[in-house]
Structure formats: C-alpha cells, structure tokens
Chains A and B, each alone.
Chain A
Amino acid sequence: MDRLGSGIQADRLSPEQYAVNFSDLHPRLDKHEALVAADRCYFCYDAPCMTACPTAIDIPLFIRQISTGNPLGAAKTIFDQNILGGMCARVCPTETLCEQACVRNTAEDRPVEIGKLQRYSTDIAMETNRQFYQRAASTGRRVAVVGAGPAGLACAHRLSMHGHSVIVFDAREKVGGLNEYGIATYKATENFAQREVDYVTAIGGIEIRNGQVLGRDFTLADLTAEFDAVFLGIGLAGVNGLGIEGEELNGVEDAVQFIAALRQAKDKSEVPVGRRVVVLGGGMTAIDAAIQAKLLGAEEVTICYRRGKESMNASGYEQDLAASNGVIIRHWLAPKRILGKDGAVAGIELGYTKAENGKLVGTGETGIIAADQVMKAIGQTFATSGLGSLRIEAGRVFTDAEGRTSVEGIWAGGDCVGRGEDLTVTAVAQGRDAAESINRQLAAGAQPAAAVA
C-alpha cells in the first residue's frame, strides 16, 4: 500500500478503505423509512412524475401500494412499464426526471424520494424472486435481438411475454451492456446487473449467445434471413478521440474502459490509478470516472470541461457528488496537448476558452496541470460497420416512433438510435416499445387470409 506513490499504481488504500469506498451509494430504505417517504406522495392527478418518466411508470400508484404495505404490488406496477426498474432505481438521474417534476419541489424544494422508493419495492420482489409474468403460448416466431443491454433485455422480455422465441446476440463476455460495464461500481453493488439479467430472463424463451459480434460473427442479412424480426440494441461502440499531441502516451485512456475494468475487477485494490488524474469531459461518464479514480486513492482528480457549468451533461446532483468526493471540477478549459516523460503522461496543457456569440473560442491563455493519468470522457460514437443499407441519421440509426428502422423487419432502440436521451431508462422504453411494434406486426402477419377477406 502506497497512498502517494507517483505514476499509475494499484493498491493505494487499505482493504477496509476499498470496501467502504465501493459500497452501496444509497443503502436501501428500511420499511419505516419507506412508509414515511411514501406518505409524502400527494397521489397527484395526471401526475407530472409519471409524465417525466421515459417508461411512464405509474409512480403515484406504486408509492401508494408501498404505503399500504404492498411492496410486491408496487414492484409489479413498476415492472409492468419497466422490467429493468431495479437498475433504473439505482442509475436514473431522477433529479432531472421524475423527482424534478414532483410537485413537492414547488411546495418545499424537496421531492418525494421516488428513486429510493422504487428500489425499495423492486429489491423486495427480486430478492424473493417473485416473477410476475408468464410467457404466452408459443407463437412459433423467432426474433433476433442484437445487444444485451437495457434496450435489448427490455425488448427480449416483452417479446417473450408475447410468446415469441428470442435469441440475444451480445459481443461481450457478460450480459447487461452498460448496466454491467458502464455503471459506476457504487451504484450497482453486489453483482446487481447480473442478478437483474437472471431475474429478467427467468421468464424463459430467451436464449443468449455471448461473444457474438455483428459484422464479425454474423451479418444483419444473416439475421433477417433466419429470423422473423430483428431488434438492434447495439449501443455506442466507439469513443471520441482528442486528436491532440500526446494522446498515444501511456496513461491516456478512455474513461469508459476505466469504468468497465473497475466494474469487472473482483478486487478493487488491483485496479491501478494515477496519483494525479485529469478527466476530460462534462457528462456522467466523466463524473463516474473521476469519482472512482478518487475512491481508488488518487490524490488529486480534476475534471476539465471546455464549457461552463450550465452546459455540463452531468446533473447537478452528480456534480455535487463529485465535489463531495474531493473531485475538482474546472470549466472553460480545452485540452491542447498531453505532455509526456519517458513515454508516460506527465501533464496536460489546456487552453482557456470562452463563449463568443454562442461559439467556443480560445482566449489564447494556456496552463498546465501535472498529471500521470488522463481519461477521455468526451463522448461515445456510433460504429456503423455491419449495418448495410440501414439509414443513418445524425450518426445514429434512424427509427420512427415505434422503433422501426428504414429496413423492413428491423427495429432498433437504445443509445444507437437518435431518439431521446442516452439513458438506461430511455433504452428500456425503446426496447419495450419496439417489442410491442414487432408483436403487432407479427400478429398482423399471422392472421388467416379469411379474416382479412
């Protein structure tokens, strides 16, 4: 253990400190806490929280069910709309969604704790493995789902409910997509992502094939030939680069890789981190990487964002969380070049920026921050390979409101499409809705000719 060792090192903290740092961010409410929190819900008419939820969970109803001692009924209300309600309870930026819409904000600046209540009830259902859904009688139809992230899982579950057989192809070793690889460790502890996958797939009729990469192991044409329908939930495989001098130095890495490696590490003390870390970006990925670098024992972690606070994609809550963990957030700084010494990062030179008529320009001043690790969190990109003639719009797969792509028989949802925010909950909604669209189309096709005539 060497807390202040320079360079990128593992084992900076005591085992106890690692355990504390990566424990559950918000422990679950106990029963009494849940009852008190639930009582604050006004059971609004046409509730604004429900409208604000991308999956349109009936929030007043599930909270009322909690308040009357029926957490399992509450869980079913949640899962009816969002089968990944457990993960969403952990990772949703509720402060910009349901809780922002809560009328209690107007009354007293303190919303009902919707996220925590959702977690309370979904945890109870999942821990007792209470399954609420059964497969309909088999339709004999087969649907391919590409990508086992939130969109793909939600789609697969809903398709299975309707009696279709689902084959899920996923490039990675483990199922879950960003839920498994992209979420800060302290937000989904105790292997929650995998437990949730098990809970969702327990409905049956869902076969998962891991290590299957679109374009390498199979093509879209293979799928359309073999299956009755195809759903793409392939996320964003690419990462934006800086395109500046020094990017190739040891110690420069993608924040998403750092987050994924940390999530997968059984022993957090084995995950190396710099003594001084600079994270470039202003979104949730930047925050998650920065906080966790700090929790791994980095002495100094600085987020540099090229615009002002108000432009950051990370929510105010997340920014505060970073600050309370000792992360320094600096605005109006754009990277110019990464400085190296002996092939490794030694620092980063940044240029001060300002907005001029809405455009970002450099002021000409520069500064250097000493660093031995630089993480890039400046956005992910859609990798278009293997998609054939699929219409791409603004760098993402084009779909209509139901999730239909430009090619008959292919649907898409989640981060890979250009609708809605890149959130777990949005992906779930799109996967679910695409499944309903697929089901409608398959059902229409299944009707006997006599019925049409």
Chain B
Amino acid sequence: MADIRNNFVGIKSPNPFWLASAPPTDKAYNVERAFQAGWGGVVWKTLGEEGPPVVNVNGPRYGAIWGADRRLLGLNNIELITDRDLYVNLREMKEVKKKWPDRAIVASIMVPCEEDAWKAILPLVEETEVDGIELNFGCPHGMSERGMGSAVGQVPEYIEMVVRWCKQYSRMPVITKLTPNITDIRYPARAAKRGGTDAVSLINTISSIVSVNLDTFSPNPSINGKGSHGGYCGPAVKPIALNMVAEIARDPETYGLPISGIGGVTTWRDAAEFLALGAGNVQVCTAAMTYGFKIVQEMITGLSDWMDAKGHRSLDDICGRAVGNVTDWQYLNLNYVTKAKIDQDLCIKCGRCHIACEDTSHQAITSVVNGVRHFEVMEDECVGCNLCVNVCPVENCITMEALGAGELDKRTGKTVDPQYANWTTHPNNPAAAPVAAE
C-alpha cells in the first residue's frame, strides 16, 4: 500500500487532500463532517479583523456553467469571507483541532494591509493551536474593493510586506495564497518568497461573469437585476491552475518553494497532476460543494491505487516529477515529427476529424476514398497538430505516431533527423545561436 501521508511545511495530515478556505470550512459543523468523511485537512474559511463581521448579499451568491445533463463544469461566487464573529470561529477552530489532532487545520486570514491589523489578529489565531496560517491575497470580488484579497495579491510589494509582518509576529508556518488575476504569477510568488513565506497556495478564483440572463439582461447571479463579477472555480479552471503551479515550480527564483495546489481538483487524477507539477498537496472546494465530502474517498483510493500500480511508495516519489518536463516553447524538439493515424476498426465514421482538419486546419484527412465514406490521414499533408485526436469522440481511435529517425516525412520530403534541434538554432530564427541550448 502506498503511503499517502502528507507533510506540508511541517504540517502533517493523513493524506494530501485538504479542503480549501471556502464555504465548506466556515464552521465546526462542516469541518467535523469533512474530517469524518476522511479529509486530511482544512483551511478554515477566511477570518477578518475583530469587530462587526462582513455581510453577504441576501440573494444568490453562486452561478455556474454546465455540460449536458447539467454536469457542473464551472462555479462562480460572490460570497465574502466568513460573516461569523471572529471569536466564534477562533473558539471552534481550537475545539476542532483538539478533537482531531491528526488532521491539519490552517487559518485563512484577510485583514487590512496595515501592520497593526496583522499584529492584532496573529496572536489570537496562534492561541487556537491550529497548524498554520494562509494569507488570503486572492479573493477577486467584494473584499478587493476594500483594498484586501486580490488587491494585495496584485501588488508584489504588498505581498512581501504583509508576509514579512506575519513571519515577524507569528511562529506559525505561513502559506501565501495567490490570485490568478495577474499577468505573470511568478512575480507575486517571488515577492512572497522574499517576504519569507513558507509556502504559496494557488490559484484563488478567477474574476468572472458566469453568464447573462438574456430575458433581463442581468449578469448571473442576479441581485435584484444587477450582477457583479465573481470568482470562478471548478473543473474549468484546472488547466489555468496547473500552468501557474508549474510556472512557480520551475522558476529559478522560487524553485523548491512548497506549493499547495488549488483549482478544479475533482478526482484523484487531477490531484496527481498537481502533485506531479510541483504541488506538495492539494486543496479542494468546488468538487465537495457539488458532490459532498464523500468524494475524498474516491480521491484517497484512486491516488493510492495508482501509486501502487506504478510502484510509487510515497508522495515524495511523485511530487514534482513533471516539473523538469515543462519547458519554454523555444526548447521543444523541432525534429520530433508525428503523424495522426486513424484506427479503422475503431472509427465510427462521424467525420469530425475530417471536417475539423478540412475547414480549420491542414486538409489532411479524407472523407471519401474510392466512392466510400472513409477517413484516413494523408501523411503528405499532416503536420501532426493533434486536433483530430482531440475532436474524435472515440478514445484511442486516432493516435499520434512519432516517425523514427531516418524515416521520411512525406509532408516535407525530408528524413527525420535523430538529433534534437530547437528554435534557438533554427535557420529561420534571426537570433539563432550556433548550437542548441537545452
């Protein structure tokens, strides 16, 4: 049996599946249900400063996009940080941590960007004996208008400053949660590192308008006919999150900085991909909000079974394994030549590969051969783009086959060069260096 115990910046949990700071972790009742279901840890819903708590809208907070059969693909929310009293939250956190010592509890915090505000709340949180803090520099709606959340996360200097305060006034591990609503995620990550953060977590939600009601012309969710942008999450954002995690994982300035991966994790497979791209654990929200806490059982068994099947003994065996394979475009091997191949036994003759290629790509797939409906790749036209593979409704019907060294590429009329060669040395590149750099 694979060992999936997790040690993230010294915070231990029985598995790498944490619930992200969000509605599912707003109070002891939910968190205890999550722990009963098997979740390894939670980041408690974000605490604000002492005083009257924030208020939420009293109309709808969520909007969604769906696939057919209303499978939820993306969720959008305009909920704010916890609207419960600070001391109620702190008391419950302390009680739950005492009751569940083997599970991770991290306090998410968002207070104004003033030293005194952070100085005031940190000891209160420390007193609960939770395992660490996460700085919410991510929420893109509501709180950002008040100079918090993503308003901080979008200014690297503020991130560095606040992280420094937290390290100064607390001995708890600090996880800095980043907003994706920024051009280059490496800058805030570098700033957090400069401030002394123990880890970063990402992504928070993406600014979004999820849909427009075409009868009322109000954005959804509609509050009395008006809408405001929300934060987008769920399966739809996973590719964006994976890239941002990888960018930080392979950036020389932040290399080795622990990352808690967040963004559309729905299955064990998603989690394994985050881990492979450099995350030390993952945080989940939308999947739990869609299906309930029980989904963690699928994640735990799925990850463990896959690790067993592949001979991975612990999370260390898989974390970061894909990072070295993420590179810049200019270093991709231009002598790697592939051609699409259609398995005629699997082909159901829908013709989508043909029309996609014919209308929008390279006119490299037949529709009729000898008067019969037949879809076949014309190797002399195929650039190996993979579009046909992606639009084919039958798994493994179309595959990309790499040409071996010395084989003829019928499109270019050249034989495949066994040597690696990239854009940096390509004759068409005006800035080409004489020798390939890898």
B182 at the interface (CB under 8 A from A): no
B354 at the interface (CB under 8 A from A): yes
Contact stretch, chosen from A41-49, A121-129, A394-402: A41-49
Contact A45 B394 (CB under 8 A): no
Contact A45 B68 (CB under 8 A): no
Contact A35 B68 (CB under 8 A): yes
Contact A42 B68 (CB under 8 A): no
Contact B68 A48 (CB under 8 A): no
Partner of A106, one of B68, B348, B355: B348
A107 at the interface (CB under 8 A from B): yes
Contact A46 B68 (CB under 8 A): no
Q: Which residues in B have their C-beta under 8 angstroms from that of A32?
A: 70
Q: Which residues in B have their C-beta under 8 angstroms from that of A38?
A: 68
Within 8 A of A (CB), among B313-350: 348-350
Contact B355 A104 (CB under 8 A): no
Given A35-B68, A36-B69, A107-B394, A42:B373 Cβ within 8 A: no
- Shortest CB-to-CB span from A25 to chain B, Å, is 25
Within 8 A of B (CB), among A77-119: 103-104, 106-107
- Shortest CB-to-CB span from B311 to chain A, Å, is 35
Q: Which residues in A have their C-beta under 8 angstroms from that of B351?
A: 44-47
Given A43-B352, A67-B68, A107:B393 Cβ within 8 A: yes
Contact B367 A45 (CB under 8 A): yes
Partner of A45, one of B67, B355, B393: B355
Residues 388-419 of B, flagged 1 when their CB comes within 8 A of A and 0 if not, give 00000110000000000000000000000000
Contact A48 B69 (CB under 8 A): no
Contact A44 B68 (CB under 8 A): no
Q: Which residues in B have their C-beta under 8 angstroms from that of A228?
A: none
- Shortest CB-to-CB span from A119 to chain B, Å, is 19
Q: Nearest CB to that of B394 among chain A residues?
A: A107
Within 8 A of B (CB), among A26-57: 32, 35-36, 38-39, 42-48
Contact A44 B69 (CB under 8 A): no
Given A42-B393, A45-B354, A46-B367, A106:B349 Cβ within 8 A: yes
- The CA of A257 and the CA of B416, in the complex, are separated in Å by 75
- The CA of A107 and the CA of B349, in the complex, are separated in Å by 10
Contact B373 A48 (CB under 8 A): yes
Given A103-B349, A106-B349, A46:B373 Cβ within 8 A: yes
Question: Chain B: interface residue count, which band?
Answer: 10 to 19
- The CA of A35 and the CA of B348, in the complex, are separated in Å by 23
- The CA of A47 and the CA of B394, in the complex, are separated in Å by 17
- Shortest CB-to-CB span from B284 to chain A, Å, is 27
- Shortest CB-to-CB span from B216 to chain A, Å, is 16
Q: Nearest CB to that of B353 among chain A residues?
A: A45
Q: Which residues in B have their C-beta under 8 angstroms from that of A44?
A: 349-352
Within 8 A of A (CB), among B63-114: 67-70
- Shortest CB-to-CB span from B364 to chain A, Å, is 14
Q: Nearest CB to that of B354 among chain A residues?
A: A45
- The CA of A36 and the CA of B67, in the complex, are separated in Å by 10
- Shortest CB-to-CB span from B73 to chain A, Å, is 13
- Shortest CB-to-CB span from B251 to chain A, Å, is 41
- Shortest CB-to-CB span from B387 to chain A, Å, is 14
Contact A45 B350 (CB under 8 A): yes
Partner of B348, one of A39, A46, A67, A104: A104
The number of residues on chain A lying at the interface, defined by a beta carbon within 8 Å of a beta carbon of chain B, is 17
Contact A42 B350 (CB under 8 A): yes
- The CA of A39 and the CA of B354, in the complex, are separated in Å by 21
Q: Nearest CB to that of A105 among chain B residues?
A: B348
- The CA of A32 and the CA of B69, in the complex, are separated in Å by 7
Residues 284-308 of A, flagged 1 when their CB comes within 8 A of B and 0 if not, give 0000000000000000000000000
Q: Which residues in B have their C-beta under 8 angstroms from that of A35?
A: 68-69
- The CA of A48 and the CA of B374, in the complex, are separated in Å by 12
Within 8 A of A (CB), among B354-384: 354-355, 367, 373
- The CA of A107 and the CA of B352, in the complex, are separated in Å by 14
- The CA of A106 and the CA of B349, in the complex, are separated in Å by 9
- Shortest CB-to-CB span from A171 to chain B, Å, is 44
- The CA of A47 and the CA of B348, in the complex, are separated in Å by 12
Contact A39 B350 (CB under 8 A): no
Q: Which residues in B have their C-beta under 8 angstroms from that of A43?
A: 352
- Shortest CB-to-CB span from A453 to chain B, Å, is 44
- Shortest CB-to-CB span from A48 to chain B, Å, is 7
- Shortest CB-to-CB span from B348 to chain A, Å, is 4
Q: Which residues in B have their C-beta under 8 angstroms from that of A45?
A: 350-352, 354-355, 367
Q: Nearest CB to that of A38 among chain B residues?
A: B68
- The CA of A45 and the CA of B373, in the complex, are separated in Å by 11
- Shortest CB-to-CB span from A140 to chain B, Å, is 45
Given A45-B355, A45-B367, A103:B68 Cβ within 8 A: no
- The CA of A197 and the CA of B355, in the complex, are separated in Å by 39
- Shortest CB-to-CB span from B69 to chain A, Å, is 5
- The CA of A204 and the CA of B433, in the complex, are separated in Å by 78
Partner of A39, one of B68, B352, B355, B367: B68
- The CA of A104 and the CA of B393, in the complex, are separated in Å by 10
- Shortest CB-to-CB span from A441 to chain B, Å, is 33
- The CA of A58 and the CA of B430, in the complex, are separated in Å by 51
- Shortest CB-to-CB span from A275 to chain B, Å, is 48
Q: Nearest CB to that of A108 among chain B residues?
A: B348
- Shortest CB-to-CB span from B104 to chain A, Å, is 40
Q: Which of B67, B351, B394 has the most CB of A within 10 A?
A: B351
Q: Which of B67, B373, B393 has the most CB of A within 10 A?
A: B393
- Shortest CB-to-CB span from A362 to chain B, Å, is 43
Q: Nearest CB to that of B359 among chain A residues?
A: A45
Q: Nearest CB to that of B70 among chain A residues?
A: A32
- The CA of A45 and the CA of B353, in the complex, are separated in Å by 9
- The CA of A42 and the CA of B351, in the complex, are separated in Å by 9
Q: Which of B68, B69, B394 has the most CB of A within 10 A?
A: B68
- The CA of A326 and the CA of B348, in the complex, are separated in Å by 36
Contact B373 A39 (CB under 8 A): no
Q: Nearest CB to that of A47 among chain B residues?
A: B351
- The CA of A47 and the CA of B350, in the complex, are separated in Å by 7
Q: Nearest CB to that of A106 among chain B residues?
A: B348
- The CA of A162 and the CA of B228, in the complex, are separated in Å by 52
Contact A48 B352 (CB under 8 A): no
Q: Which of A43, A103, A104 has the most CB of B within 10 A?
A: A103
Q: Nearest CB to that of B391 among chain A residues?
A: A42
- Shortest CB-to-CB span from B180 to chain A, Å, is 30
Q: Which residues in B have their C-beta under 8 angstroms from that of A103?
A: 348-350
Partner of A107, one of B67, B70, B348, B373: B348
Within 8 A of A (CB), among B242-288: none
Q: Nearest CB to that of B347 among chain A residues?
A: A106
- Shortest CB-to-CB span from B214 to chain A, Å, is 10
Q: Which residues in B have their C-beta under 8 angstroms from that of A46?
A: 351, 367, 373
Q: Which residues in A have their C-beta under 8 angstroms from that of B349?
A: 44, 48, 103, 106
Q: Which residues in A have their C-beta under 8 angstroms from that of B69?
A: 35-36, 39
- The CA of A63 and the CA of B122, in the complex, are separated in Å by 58
Q: Nearest CB to that of A43 among chain B residues?
A: B352
- The CA of A16 and the CA of B394, in the complex, are separated in Å by 48
- Shortest CB-to-CB span from B236 to chain A, Å, is 17
Query: What are the nearest 5 A-B pairs in CB distance?
Result: A45-B351, A39-B68, A45-B355, A106-B348, A103-B348
Q: Can you list 18 A-B contacts (CB < 8 A)?
A: A32-B70, A35-B68, A36-B68, A36-B69, A44-B349, A44-B350, A44-B351, A45-B350, A45-B354, A46-B367, A48-B373, A67-B68, A103-B349, A103-B350, A104-B348, A106-B348, A106-B349, A107-B348
Task: Spell out B's residues near A (CB within 8 Å).
Answer: 67-70, 348-352, 354-355, 367, 373, 393-394
Additional pairs, 19, CB under 8 Å, beyond known A42-B393, A104-B348: A35-B68, A36-B69, A39-B67, A43-B352, A44-B349, A44-B351, A44-B352, A45-B351, A45-B352, A45-B354, A45-B367, A46-B367, A46-B373, A48-B349, A48-B373, A67-B68, A103-B348, A106-B348, A107-B348
